[in-house]
A = this chain, B = another copy of it.
Amino acid sequence: MAGLSFQALPGFRDFTPRECSVRNYLFETWRSVARRCGYVEYESPVLEDTGLYLKKSGGELSSQLFRFEDQGGRDVTLRPEVTASLARLVAEHQRQFPKPIKWFEIGQCFRYEKPQKGRGREFHQFNVDILGEAGPAADAELISLAIETMLAFGFVKGDFVVRASDRNAWISFASTHGVSDEAMPDFLNIVDKIEREKPEALEQKLAAFGLTTAQVRAFIADPANASPAYLAIKEDLTARGLGEFIELDLSIVRGLAYYTGVVFEVFDSKKSMRAVAGGGRYDTLVATISDGSVDLPATGFAMGDYVIRNLIEETPHANILMQAWLQRNSANCDVYVVLADDSKRAEALKLVTDLRRAGVSTDHPLVPAKVARQFQSAERCGARFALVVGAEFPELKLKILSSRTEETGTAENAAAWLTERLQQPDGPLLA
């Protein structure tokens, strides 16, 4: 903006009240779905030892770090994701908690990428994990939460789908075709990029493993290659009435090196097939992070705030829920005290204090102003009621701003009166 010397860094957002309210809608929905599904909240540090990320993530993440040396000479990094921290934290504290551990975190992450629509250099992530249970029931429980989250945002069948695969199916296929354990990560990386790779390059890369594109595509296309874990998850979700939201897609492998079994992504099925969330099993990560001192199977997923917000805004039946929530939460206050007689300022201040103390969101003019101007302020800040303090104090007039009706009451019982009045709907608009 012209004339302003400072701006937010590229890819970083200023959450003005409207943007902050959208953020709060996402956070509150995430939090409430996680809690009703029996997950408890934790939070790991925003800044960690860089080694934590270099040790586990692999892949492109390590080139996108906000990494620096702190004043004590430590090599530190703003977290690009939270699973590594979770593994560290669980390894240290797990004895205190009965298994399975069902935890969630809503936190900000940082990646140095090219800012674009749907991607910044910081983003908030909803992370959900189950640790201590190796069987597919844990994956199904986790995936059911991903689905319930989408439903809570107002999405319906046809808007999204969970596409699931199993790295073990790939490992078994590749082993059968002579791919060694050491070569497996490279092989999985090629499969992960299969849709983005040029056909000739793909054929060449697969040839190095003694495989052809046709063989790999045939493997992906055959539903008989669904793993027993996938089938158990599908059955579990079907029992929950959620079977229609999951389908097999063996082309999904996930980029991070630490995944070990079932992996999945939640896709926007309407439009651009963006991944809204993704996750899977990482049974060896806790042991890796803790140098083998703690061994806990685990499965988890993350959902970022950029894509889900865009998807909500593009989907009318989801957007209407968000807009209604934003509308309900847009007022600066419920009651605006109008001071019609400035000699009653002290009485008005006491009244404001009493109302606030009773939990009624209340505001008032800080300096004397014409009554019409004060009513304007009341409207602007979204108040339902203007409570008029005038010469007749302690008698008060209550103007219902939407219906332009009026009631009278007294200052002594204002807190009870307004508390009760806020529970009731407003009357019809009087012309």
Contact = CB atoms under 8 A, between A and B. Distances in A.
Interface of A: 1, 3-10, 12-17, 20-21, 23-24, 32, 35-49, 51-52, 66, 68-72, 74, 76, 78, 88-89, 91-93, 96-98, 100, 102-103, 108, 110, 112, 122, 130, 133, 135, 137-138, 141, 144, 148, 151, 236, 239-242, 289-291, 293-294, 332-333, 345-347, 349-350, 352-353, 356-357, 359-363, 366-367, 377, 380-381
A197 to B, nearest CB: 26
B14 A44 contact: yes
A93 B4 CA distance: 11
A6 B332 contact: no
A110 B40 contact: no
6 contacts: A38-B363, A40-B332, A47-B78, A98-B380, A137-B366, A144-B353
Contacts of A76: 9
A185 to B, nearest CB: 22
A122 B46 contact: yes
Interface centre among A17, A49, A66, A93 (most CB of B within 10 A): A17
A430 to B, nearest CB: 26
A367 B15 contact: no
B14 A89 contact: yes
A14 B45 contact: yes
Top 5 nearest A-B pairs by Cβ distance? A68-B68, A38-B363, A239-B346, A3-B293, A15-B43
A15 B42 contact: yes
A148 B346 CA distance: 18
Contacts of A112: 70-72
The complex is assembled from copies of this chain, and their number is 2
B9 A47 contact: yes
A26 to B, nearest CB: 13
B9 A367 contact: no
A411 to B, nearest CB: 13
Nearest to A48: B9
A349 B14 contact: no
B239 A367 contact: no
Interface centre among A40, A69, A144 (most CB of B within 10 A): A40
Nearest to A141: B366
B48 A4 contact: no
A214 to B, nearest CB: 39
A385 to B, nearest CB: 13
A1 to B, nearest CB: 5
A17 B92 contact: no
A20 B43 contact: yes
A42 B20 contact: yes
B49 A366 contact: no
A144 B354 CA distance: 12
A388 to B, nearest CB: 17
A92 B4 contact: yes
A155 to B, nearest CB: 14
Contact of A5 (B12, B100, B138, B289): B289
Contacts of A15: 42-44
B137 A38 contact: no
A372 to B, nearest CB: 15
Given A14-B92, A15-B42, A23-B43, 5 more contacts: A5-B290, A12-B45, A13-B45, A68-B69, A148-B356
Contact of A366 (B37, B135, B349, B377): B135
Contacts of A40: 17, 20, 332
Nearest to A352: B240
B46 A133 contact: no
Nearest to A89: B14
Given A144-B353, A332-B102, A360-B36, A6 B49 contact: yes
A41 B68 contact: no
A16 B89 contact: yes
B12 A41 contact: no
